């Protein structure tokens, strides 16, 4: 890890474990330019790559013809409306209504450590094991200053970027676009990789050719969303799972985003990532600053798998803060798919008793315990226990569950308000709405205006009072609709364009307060399944509910897309009943368990009513969780085969960091006639070590398993699965 400034060539060089990132400053104009990002390079003077010499139009040489230079020069943080027609990083409305902005280098600092981003989730590291480069830029006309931050950690190949803008003028400025990152590079042979989805079908991998013009994924839904994910990957044509060039850029933010790549007339690429400019207009008063969220850049020469493992380690070591992050999570049973809204104390206690007998460790009471919520039309905001359902109150239920020997967890949806609620009747102005318009209902609810301190305080106290009242070990924080009808009764005309961002800051503030007051709480984020499964939320909760689709086969591609970026320890995964409530498919109980073992592991079914043959398998699955979870949580993830590509079977492995143990999961999705056994090559082992295949007498060297492979037995029928455990001798 090293950050240097080479005075003679005016080059900044950021060196991580295996990569270099270089930024230059042009001769006379002092534009900040992008020079190089990729595998480590030894030379310091890379100015020859800037193309200023080959370009007769460089402004220092031919001031008259600045335009042709600006439109092709690789800029590190491009301005707007002054001759660079590619995507700008910033757009500003000044007091005359103009939007032009152009930045020039004014100074820099190289420091130990990494600063916190005020009010925002961000990666963190120890002072002497991290380093930061801050580069100052200024638009002298607007007197708008920008500080670009580049942070690195000793043990990681990721580079974290963000920007801080300061209005140094004496008039207000309106930011209408502020990207966290802009990255220029030549197009080689990259395809664009993104994650798309829908409710119950989150984070599906999608490749496309990069054509001329702009291609993006985004969200203007007020959440990172089911539909598109704040990630962009550039994947070289020749890249495989374990070799070849891959760039991955991920946004540590949970609200509106834009992630875009633009291919221009010279076959150069510009990647942009930041808060989506739509509905964004942020007033910056004289002296005020605006901090962008953080974007994480990863480059790997070791294919997609190499990229995934860099993200996984980064998030495990430098983003998740929970005391649970390195701990086994209690195996939970959640009553949502078991009972939906139809439950009472007796029902929950019956589930808890049977769950205890089978080795489950925590009961989670989901939606429907408050107000008069017997369906999803009512009561959000009225966080008072429904004593008709929970006779004797919440404390009584929790005591009983604890007496049975289980921890207790509870569901909230703190950001929402039902039109049919005492809260809405008292405070209709607390809902996000545009005056004169009836706001659009989704799941028959509105969103609370979390830009308001009074609303945040109410919401916080509603949750905290319950948590203070009894022994609650876990909270599932849900969010079941997107933002619309953007209007706040609290913000004035000048600040309305800040609502979505202030909403997000409000959510972060609430969760920060929660984990500060209840440091031992296990918090699981959720958003109608996995609509807010993003690095921002991971800063507050070590796990996030992956999807409302609990079908083991659907989960294969959802979990594959999620594990492209997120460690397995973060993926909420449960065994549910069949036929599956979302897709109607029936799969063997064993396969449901094997697939859920790749995540946090739990159950989402009525354990008192499922077939005895299924229930009888639970103690065995619980034992597998205890046996493998340390490995699954902390090991290196390898994607071996993808059902998404071969339409036939799925296979992935987790290998311990010291390479003494591996767990391979193989799921045969489609049975085939006349099949023979299949060879599975296991990457990532120690070639010299000898591994015993558990349950057999076979011992093989790592290199044999890596190159010649394992012989997996032929499986008969659909939806079969197998776990293979390798242990070094």
Does residue 336 touch ligand DGJ according to CB under 6 A? Answer: yes
Among 35, 89, 397, 526, binds ligand DGJ (CB under 6 A): 526
Sole window of 228-236, 264-272, 400-408, 524-532 interacting with ligand DGJ (rule: CB under 6 A): 524-532
Which three-class secondary structure state does DSSP give residue 456? Answer: helix
Structure tokens at 190: 């990259």
Distance of closest approach, residue 478 Cβ to ligand DGJ, in angstroms: 5
Sole window of 79-87, 220-228, 523-531, 611-619 interacting with ligand DGJ (rule: CB under 6 A): 523-531
8 Å CB contact between 511 and 184: no
Q: Nearest residue to ligand DGJ, using CB? A: 367
Binding to ligand DGJ (CB under 6 A) within 361-420 occurs at 366-367, 411
Distance of closest approach, residue 617 Cβ to ligand DGJ, in angstroms: 23
Among 47, 480, 482, 600, binds ligand DGJ (CB under 6 A): 480
Distance of closest approach, residue 206 Cβ to ligand DGJ, in angstroms: 23
Distance of closest approach, residue 113 Cβ to ligand DGJ, in angstroms: 38
- Centre a 10 Å sphere on the Cβ of residue 67 and count the other Cβ atoms it contains: 14
For ligand DGJ, the closer of residues 292 and 576 by Cβ is: 576
Distance of closest approach, residue 222 Cβ to ligand DGJ, in angstroms: 17
- Catalytically annotated residue among 15, 139, 367, 478: 478
Among 59, 255, 381, 529, binds ligand DGJ (CB under 6 A): 529
For ligand DGJ, the closer of residues 87 and 534 by Cβ is: 534
Distance of closest approach, residue 518 Cβ to ligand DGJ, in angstroms: 20
**DSSP state letters, 89-134:** SEEEE-TTS---B--EEEEEEEEES----TTS------GGGEEEEE
For ligand DGJ, the closer of residues 154 and 344 by Cβ is: 344
**DSSP state letters, 575-612:** EE-SS-TTT-----HHHHHHHHTTSS-EEES-TTTS-H
For ligand DGJ, the closer of residues 136 and 413 by Cβ is: 413
8 Å CB contact between 225 and 201: no
Sole window of 1-9, 174-182, 429-437, 526-534 interacting with ligand DGJ (rule: CB under 6 A): 526-534
For ligand DGJ, the closer of residues 336 and 652 by Cβ is: 336
- In angstroms, the CA 628 to CA 601 distance is 11
**Residue 548 among the catalytic residues:** yes
Distance of closest approach, residue 551 Cβ to ligand DGJ, in angstroms: 14
Residues touching ligand DGJ, count (CB under 6 A): 11
Binding to ligand DGJ (CB under 6 A) within 262-321 occurs at none
8 Å CB contact between 569 and 633: yes
Distance of closest approach, residue 373 Cβ to ligand DGJ, in angstroms: 9
* 630 burial via Cβ count (<10 Å: 0-12, 13-18, 19+): middle
**Interacting residues of 370 by C-beta distance below 8 A, sequence separation 6+:** 379, 382, 383, 384, 385, 386
**Residue 658 among the catalytic residues:** no
- In angstroms, the CA 406 to CA 483 distance is 37
For ligand DGJ, the closer of residues 125 and 529 by Cβ is: 529
- Catalytically annotated residue among 420, 548, 577, 636: 548
- Centre a 10 Å sphere on the Cβ of residue 238 and count the other Cβ atoms it contains: 11
8 Å CB contact between 523 and 470: no
Taking the CA of residue 627 as centre, how many other CA atoms within 13 Å lie in the half-sphere pointing to its CB? 16
- In angstroms, the CA 547 to CA 237 distance is 31
Structure tokens at 354: 């049977």
Alpha helices in 319-439 (DSSP H): 336-339, 345-357, 393-404, 422-426
Sole window of 147-155, 485-493, 522-530, 658-666 interacting with ligand DGJ (rule: CB under 6 A): 522-530
- In angstroms, the CA 556 to CA 203 distance is 11
In the complex, the residues that contact ligand DGJ under the rule CB under 6 A are 336, 366-367, 411, 478, 480, 526, 528-529, 545, 548
- The residues annotated with a catalytic role in the active site are 478, 548
């Amino acid at each position: 890890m090293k950050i240097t400034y080479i005075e003679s060539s005016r080059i900044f060089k950021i060196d991580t474990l295996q990569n270099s990132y270089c930024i230059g400053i042009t001769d006379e104009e002092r534009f900040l330019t992008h020079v190089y990002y990729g595998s480590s390079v030894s030379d310091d003077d890379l100015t020859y790559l800037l193309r200023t010499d080959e370009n007769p139009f460089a402004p220092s040489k031919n001031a008259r013809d600045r335009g042709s230079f600006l439109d092709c020069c690789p800029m590190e943080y491009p301005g707007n409306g002054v001759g660079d027609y590619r995507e700008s990083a910033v757009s500003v409305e000044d007091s005359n209504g103009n939007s032009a902005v152009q930045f020039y280098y004014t100074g820099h600092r190289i420091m130990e450590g990494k600063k916190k981003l005020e009010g925002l989730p961000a990666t963190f590291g120890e002072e002497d094991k991290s380093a930061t480069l801050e580069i100052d830029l200024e638009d002298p006309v607007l007197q708008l200053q920008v500080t670009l931050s580049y942070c690195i950690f000793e043990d990681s190949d990721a580079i974290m970027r963000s920007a801080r803008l300061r209005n140094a003028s004496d008039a207000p400025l309106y930011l209408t676009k502020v990207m966290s990152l802009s990255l220029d590079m030549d197009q080689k042979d990259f395809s664009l990789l993104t994650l798309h989805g829908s409710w119950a079908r989150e984070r599906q991998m999608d490749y496309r050719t990069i054509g001329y013009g702009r291609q993006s994924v985004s969200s203007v839904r007020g959440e990172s969303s089911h539909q598109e994910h704040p990630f962009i990957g550039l994947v070289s044509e020749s890249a495989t799972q374990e070799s070849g060039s891959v760039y991955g850029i991920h946004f540590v933010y949970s609200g509106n985003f834009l992630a875009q790549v633009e291919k221009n007339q010279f076959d150069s690429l510009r990647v942009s990532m930041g808060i989506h400019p739509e509905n964004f207009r942020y007033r910056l008063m004289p002296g005020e600053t605006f901090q962008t969220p953080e974007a994480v850049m990863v480059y790997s020469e070791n294919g997609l798998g190499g990229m995934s493992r860099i993200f996984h380690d980064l998030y495990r070591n430098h983003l998740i803060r929970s005391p649970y992050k390195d701990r086994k999570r209690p195996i939970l049973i959640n009553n949502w798919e078991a009972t939906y809204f139809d439950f009472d104390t007796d029902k929950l206690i019956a589930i808890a008793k049977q769950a205890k007998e089978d080795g489950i460790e925590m009961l989670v009471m989901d939606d429907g315990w408050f107000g008069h919520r017997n369906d999803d039309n009512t009561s959000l905001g009225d966080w008072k226990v429904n004593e008709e359902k929970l006779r004797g109150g919440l404390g009584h239920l929790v005591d009983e569950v604890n007496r049975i020997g289980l921890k207790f967890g509870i569901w909230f949806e703190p950001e929402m308000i039902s039109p049919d609620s005492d809260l809405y009747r008292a405070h209709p102005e607390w809902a996000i709405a545009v005056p004169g318009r009836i706001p659009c209902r989704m799941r028959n609810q509105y969103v609370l205006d979390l830009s308001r301190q009074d609303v945040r305080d109410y919401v916080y106290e509603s949750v905290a009072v319950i948590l203070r009242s009894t022994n609650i070990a876990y909270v599932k924080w849900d969010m079941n609709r997107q933002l619309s009808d953007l209007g706040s009764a609290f913000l004035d005309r000048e600040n309305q364009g800040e609502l979505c961002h202030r909403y997000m800051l409000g959510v972060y503030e609430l969760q920060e307060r929660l984990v500060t007051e209840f440091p031992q709480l296990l918090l699981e984020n959720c958003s109608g399944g996995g609509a807010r499964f993003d690095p921002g939320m991971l800063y507050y909760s070590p796990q996030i509910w992956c999807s409302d689709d609990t079908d083991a086969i659907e989960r294969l591609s959802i979990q594959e897309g999620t594990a492209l970026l997120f460690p397995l320890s973060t993926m909420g995964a449960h065994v549910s009943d069949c036929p599956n409530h979302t897709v109607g498919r029936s799969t063997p109980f064993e396969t449901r368990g094997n697939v859920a073992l790749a995540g946090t592991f739990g159950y989402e079914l009525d354990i008192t009513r499922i077939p005895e043959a299924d229930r009888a398998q639970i103690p065995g699955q619980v034992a597998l969780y205890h046996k493998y979870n340390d490995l699954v949580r902390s090991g290196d993830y390898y994607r071996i085969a993808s059902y998404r590509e071969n339409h036939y079977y799925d296979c992935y492995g987790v290998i311990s960091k010291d390479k003494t143990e591996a767990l391979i999961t193989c799921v045969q999705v489609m049975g085939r006639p006349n099949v023979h056994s299949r060879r599975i090559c296991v990457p990532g082992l120690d070639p010299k070590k000898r591994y015993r295949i558990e349950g057999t007498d076979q011992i093989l060297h790592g290199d044999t398993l890596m190159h010649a492979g394992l012989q997996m037995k032929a499986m008969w029928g659909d939806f079969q699965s197998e776990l293979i455990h390798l242990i070094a001798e």
